[in-house]
Amino acid sequence: MAPLRLPDQTPRSQAMRLAMPGRYLHSAKFQFGEDLYGAPGNSRFDESSEHFELHMRYSNEARQQTIAGELRVLSDAVAAGQWSRFRDQLNKVAPRLSNSFSVPTLSPMQTAVHSRLLVMPKTLAAGRPSCAPSPRSRLTPLWRPAEPGP
């Protein structure tokens, strides 16, 4: 996506030369060892002007995310009078030229346990057990609520 890089100079008195007109492709696939996404999904972003066309595709499955982009540079220069409009278009597409995603630090099972651990102090303080005993284990209380004093 380097052909769309903005120069430091903002107001222009001369035309700005762009990278060679052509088609630029980029794709990245991220694969994970365990499920990261609950449901598969797809999305896209398309933007075009007289100087460029940008098409982005995003897809995710339980254990992978794929991002593919196609940039077509349609002209080799931007006239000085068109600079402001061109810069506005680039600022609009700039967030789409990068991507971020979150990887949970806990597995789905660990997340469920963590959620229960967060509410455990409140349920214990209320005198309610936070888990039910199973036939294979015996729950022995190590504490009891304080008796009201005289």
Task: Return the H-helix or E-strand segment holding 73.
Answer: strand 64-73
Residue 57 has pLDDT above 70, yes or no: yes
CA distance 16 to 82: 10
Q: Which whole number is the average pLDDT over 2-26?
A: 77
Give SS3 for 86: helix
CA distance linking residue 126 with residue 116, whole number of Å: 15
Domain annotation covers residue 88: yes
Domain presence at residue 82? yes
How many structural domains is the chain composed of?
1
What is the model's pLDDT at position 80? 87
Indicate whether 8 belongs to any domain: no
In a domain, 28, yes or no: yes
As a whole number of angstroms, the distance between CA 108 and CA 130 comes to 20
* Cβ neighbours of residue 72 closer than 8 Å, sequence gap 6 or more: 22, 23, 24, 52, 53, 54
- Note the pLDDT of residue 4: 59
Per-residue model confidence (pLDDT) at position 97: 78
Range of the domain at 48: 22-97
